Amino acid sequence: MSDKNTVPLSVLDLAPVPQGADPARAFQCSLELAQHAEKWGYQRYWMAEHHNMTGIASAATSVLLGYIAGGTKTIRVGSGGVMLPNHSPLVIAEQFGTLATLYPNRVDLGLGRAPGTDQRTMIALRRHLSGEIDNFPQDVQELQMYFGDVQPQQAVQAVPGQGLHVPIWLLGSSLYSAQLAAALGLPFAFASHFAPDMLYQALAIYRSKFQPSAQLEKPHAMVCINAIAADTDEEARRMFTSNQQQFINLRRGMPGKLPAPVDNIESLWSAQERFGVDNALRMSVVGNKESVRQGLQNILRETEADELMINGQIFDHQARLHSFEIVSQLQGELVKEQRIG
């Protein structure tokens, strides 16, 4: 037997910089998308930390989240995620404590274990290369302490931050963060929009090993996917070629701004490149409203996700707005089937 409930939708924004544009324009477009997403009923608006990538403008994630939160009223804003190896936990606690003070009950802190960049850029970020990733569990727990109530003889406090209980999420594309999120009783988000290989195994581990915590009584899994929606399947597939080209360029070691769509993607990649890109982007739903509805419902059936986060790397801003609007119209139709007994 099954019990059905609707699944909320959220937005992941990488502040893409299309060819011919600059970060200033990307920020304007992000704010406009966030304002529309709020009006269309999306649950959260998250931004991701990346460095040394000319096609992604969200490096100073907490600063940009303040801009987005200041231009909206009700939608939750957060990081998807902050790459914790790049930062001291205290600094992140102060940044997100400041955001949560300015915008109460609206801020999420999603944490990633990867650096989100290359080794040279890690050095430029002034973080040590040896041992930092191994400190991730301790850093997460340190953050929890800074957001918790002040403890007796606590020598260092996050001001602001202490006592605000900012919700912490763990993000990942492997099994490590799934295990840690389960052990700490935290919500978990899987980055299947670019690294889907371990999705189902990670979800199974997270759910089976979850330990209730003060923040969360039962597991809450969010799955991030790509969704490109348009009035016709053909138009959506053409828009998707920007994302495909971006991954081709990444694999060739030539990252850059988001490319314009093309009519014939087949002329741009080898068979081997196509295989790799198709595999990385296989958790993508591309098409008209009905195609996207079917695709999202299939993903929910396979993953039993509690929430879907939508990434849409689309070259034209108006087409991107239209895509997220089409997806938003499916809210209320998408359901999670919870198996009982």
> What is the per-residue pLDDT for 5?
85
Q: Which CATH superfamily is domain 9-219+313-330 in?
A: Luciferase-like domain (3.20.20.30)
Across the chain, which has 341 residues, the per-10-residue mean pLDDT values are: 75 97 98 98 96 94 98 98 92 98 98 77 67 78 97 95 98 96 98 97 98 97 98 98 97 94 96 97 98 97 97 98 98 77 39
One-letter-per-residue 3-state SS of the chain: CEEEEECCEEEEECCECECCCCHHHHHHHHHHHHHHHHHHCCCEEEECCCCCCCCECCCCHHHHHHHHHHCCCCCEEEEEEEEHHHCCHHHHHHHHHHHHHHCCCCEEEEEECCCCCCHHHHHHCCCCCCCCHHHHHHHHHHHHHHHCCCCCCCCCCCCCCCCCCCCEEEEECCCHHHHHHHHHCCCEEECCCCCCCCHHHHHHHHHHHCCCCCCCCCCCEEEEEEEEECCCHHHHHHHHHHHHHHHHHHHCCCCCCECCCCCCHHHHCCHHHHHHHHHHCCCEEEECHHHHHHHHHHHHHHHCCCEEEEECCCCCHHHHHHHHHHHHCCCCCCEEEEECC
Tell me, what's the pLDDT at 341? 39
Predicted model pTM: 0.94
Kindly list the domain boundaries of the chain, sorted by start residue.
9-219+313-330
Say what the pLDDT of residue 165 is: 97
Per-residue model confidence (pLDDT) at position 119: 73
